[in-house]
Structure 1
Amino acid sequence: MTAPASRDVVVTGLGATTPLGGDAPSTWAAALAGESGARTMDNDWSETYGIPVTFAATIKEHPSEKLSRPEMKRMDPSTQYAMIAAREAWQDAGAPEVDGERLGAVVSSGIGGIWTTLDAWDTLQERGARRVLPMTVPMLMPNSPAAYVSLELGAQAGAHALVSACASGAEAIGYGIDMIRAGRADVVVCGGTEATIHPMPIAAFAASRTLSLRNDDPQGASRPYDVDRDGFVIGEGAAVVVLESAEHAAARGARVYAKMAGVGLSSDAYHITSPDPEGKGQVAAMRRSLADADVDGAEVVHVNAHATSTKVGDLTETRSIRTVLGDDTDHVRLSATKSMTGHLLGGAGALEALFTIKAVHERLAPPTINVVTPDPELQVPLVRDEPATLPDGDIAAVNNSFGFGGHNVALTVTNA
């Protein structure tokens, strides 16, 4: 029997493994403290390959701390991170009892098992076809994290892996919301993951001139909205949330962090890597999300921005925010948490959604670090260096995620 659809979707579990911490609480605490996860890499990639970047926001806790040796051998790092985050989120939600046919999994990655792909190619070239591992395809496929999470939890309502570059993690959460609203599931475990700190992706991003080159100051390199910003810091990790229909959560007495009230999607159809300079798609996504949540601009007190530290992208987004909110923008508290975490690519939207959920739940907007000289064209009040208290009463926050290909996702979070 199909359960009735519920418009109200709530968050009951959070999990993460990131450059700031090995779980969600330590990651959030480090973000509130304004810590940076960027560090000089302990390798010779720069000397060996001529890569101009020597630092990244690498994972804080190695997966071997929480996964067994057999699991490590059969999973690409992107899946390892997802499994760690999913297990934490599930336990944080109280390991709810739910029929597998009413349980879904949506875990996305922007790039997938790149380590497995490139290692297999090296093996083929150096040692021949017989030495390529038989688990190579299940390890490299971008739906591997979603598949393993569904296997772990017995999720049979659907296992999905939406791929929309750096918007993937946020879109996965949006899809999970839609699954519950449509009556397909009562509980959905969803999020994003990425493990691309490998010489080839770093070389490719460096070639596109999107990475910061501040090798002498890794922790100060990601500086959204600073006049001297020079690109993003590549990061790795995963974040996963447990979504439930409000009815299902109430029936089992679950602790609720916040309500996932709105989803807005759009596409620019403008350029494969650059955003529409007028921000039309970003504006459309935010407006659709707020309309979906039945929230007006006066209720929006916080925005967790996509804000990667690129010259063009940062200001396009802030102009879009002001276009959507108008004068209500003046009471918004803007956070750019990639200044601390680096850019987790397909995992970024999920991690920033987790931060937005925590911000609403604890009424604290995390800081933006490394902004020494704010860009004079910045049009939204920025939370700098210290957390900002959010007001009492009914509040709403927006999490923006944008990806190469013109993908735009806006999620609206409200207090439960």
Structure 2
Amino acid sequence: MTLRRVVVTGIGALTPIGNSAPDYWAGLKNGVSGAARITRFDPEKFRTQFACEVKNFNAEDHFDRKEARKMDPFTQYALVVAEEAMKDSKLDLNAINLDKAGVIWGSGIGGLMTFQEEVRSYVNNDSTPRFNPFFIPKMIADISSGYISIKYGFRGPNFVTVSACASSTNALIDALNYIRLGHMDVAISGGSEAAVTEAGMGGFNAMKALSERNDSPETASRPFDKDRDGFVLGEGASALILEEYEHAKARGAKIYAEIIGGGMSADAHHITAPHPEGLGATNVMLNALADAKIKPEEVDYINVHGTSTPLGDISETLAIKKVFGDHAYNLNISSTKSMTGHLLGAAGAIEAVACVMALEHGVIPPTINHFTDDDQLDNKLNLTFNKAQERKINVALSNTFGFGGHNTSIIFRKI
């Protein structure tokens, strides 16, 4: 069976370092840190008092007040980036088959703020069971794709993937395969997350997953640095318009890149810790390369999962060396989480956009906040520390891994 080709024809982004795709890319190139003291609530009593929040976002700039109140921020973010991507793609809704246009989205947590506030309200009202009638529709993760589908009239496949931090890469891979197989011609795919809440911060602090570098939040996300002490929680969203190649070509669409493969695997090891030898990470990259039908030496850039945790960064670099052998030293590798923080279920989508923009502009975004080499890592690898590097890039691979041992890799090629 011949699989159809799939290309990216539109992008949108709302991130801690830029509220549009162009602004996000400018932040990445310039090595901007999105981390700062939390403004959404008073973090004084928390061990971690900072995060990578979306800045200067007012829901009422995008929705009327009544409509905004019906949506959790993660859904608001999803709709905003979907609109940017749709405008960027210049899709004419009157000229496409809406029965073959779908929405496949990703979110690891969904409406955490809604859940937190409704439970808090219940407890504070003497446990009288009075809940907002929009509580459940605001909270459930799949409501994001539902809203997008309703807005654009897309009647094809419509669902949300939940695989922790791998969620939106899983969504992109699902969309890729649905288009390849002819079930869709067009998809809005990506992910959104809004977990910078008391519950989110407290929960991740309890796991000892977060950096506690309160004296210097802007340098706290430091993947591959000897003194890394955990990830920085981020929030936001990104959307990509995926389209069957001939469909895009026929309407004269701008094509950013082709998605040539995706891989999935499981660590089958631990609910939160990665496999110490990078077994799942090795397998997922091999699976993606096999799906793309390319050799390891054809890859130029890897946007790594690279969360800034002591164990995760080591296991991922071990996996890269196993998969790429000597070519690992020819690669540019970087973790854009050093700038955006970790957007959980939305991480894969915003890092996919980073890969697409890197291909378009021939620039590798850096891994910022590197101060001290870690002797446990191979420091001969080009981890693109602190400053963007210009390079011709034909193929970029993006890794995203999640609690529960979920691993995903997706591969983009310049076209």
**TM-score class normalised by the smaller sequence:** over 0.9
1:10 aligned onto 2:4: no
Cα pair 1:303 1:397 within 8 Å, conserved: yes
For 1:392-415, what per-residue CA distance to the aligned partner results, in whole angstroms no more than 9, with x for missing partners? Answer: 6xx211100000000000001111
Q: Secondary structure of the equivalent of 2:261?
A: strand
Q: Secondary structure of the equivalent of 2:191?
A: strand
What is the CA-CA distance between 1:377 and the residue it aligns to? 3.4
1:388 aligned onto 2:389: yes
Cα pair 1:89 1:241 within 8 Å, conserved: yes
Aligned twin of 1:53: 48
Identical-pair percentage? 41
Cα pair 1:63 1:81 within 8 Å, conserved: no
Gap change, CA 1:5 and 1:23, over 3 Å in 2: farther
Alignment gaps of 5+ in structure 2: none
| Matches of 2:212 and 2:4, distance apart in 1 | 46
Cα pair 2:41 2:198 within 8 Å, conserved: no
1:79 aligned onto 2:75: yes
Cα pair 1:105 1:160 within 8 Å, conserved: yes
Structure 1's consecutive aligned runs of 4 or more residues displaced over 6 angstroms after TM superposition are none
Q: How does 1:11-410 map to 2 (within 5 A)?
A: 11-42=8-39, 45-47=42-44, 50-64=45-59, 65-97=61-93, 98-127=96-125, 131-379=130-378, 380-391=381-392, 395-410=394-409
For 1:59-110, what per-residue CA distance to the aligned partner results, in whole angstroms no more than 9, with x for missing partners? Answer: 0231423332223111101000111111100111013432211101011110
Please give the TM-score of this superposition, normalised by the length of structure 1: 0.95
Deviates more, 1:401-410 or 1:266-275: 266-275
| Matches of 1:95 and 1:7, distance apart in 2 | 19
Figure out how many residues of one structure are paired with residues of the other and give that number. 409
| Matches of 1:250 and 1:6, distance apart in 2 | 17
What is the CA-CA distance between 1:7 and the residue it aligns to? 2.7
Cα pair 2:16 2:236 within 8 Å, conserved: yes
| Matches of 2:265 and 2:400, distance apart in 1 | 11
Please give the TM-score of this superposition, normalised by the length of structure 2: 0.96
Gap change, CA 1:213 and 1:221, over 3 Å in 2: same
Q: Secondary structure of the equivalent of 2:13?
A: strand
For 1:294-349, what per-residue CA distance to the aligned partner results, in whole angstroms no more than 9, with x for missing partners? Answer: 11122111000000000000010011011101111111001110000000001101
Aligned residue identity for 1:299 = E
Gap change, CA 1:91 and 1:130, over 3 Å in 2: same
Deviates more, 1:281-290 or 1:377-386: 377-386
For 1:236-276, what per-residue CA distance to the aligned partner results, in whole angstroms no more than 9, with x for missing partners? Answer: 00011000010110010100000011100011111110111
Gap change, CA 1:43 and 1:249, over 3 Å in 2: closer
Cα pair 2:267 2:280 within 8 Å, conserved: yes
For 1:363-391, what per-residue CA distance to the aligned partner results, in whole angstroms no more than 9, with x for missing partners? Answer: 11101100011223333311122211222
Q: Secondary structure of the equivalent of 2:274?
A: coil
Alignment gaps of 5+ in structure 1: none
Q: Secondary structure of the equivalent of 1:282?
A: helix
Deviates more, 1:372-381 or 1:15-24: 372-381
Cα pair 1:6 1:246 within 8 Å, conserved: no
Cα pair 1:67 1:84 within 8 Å, conserved: no
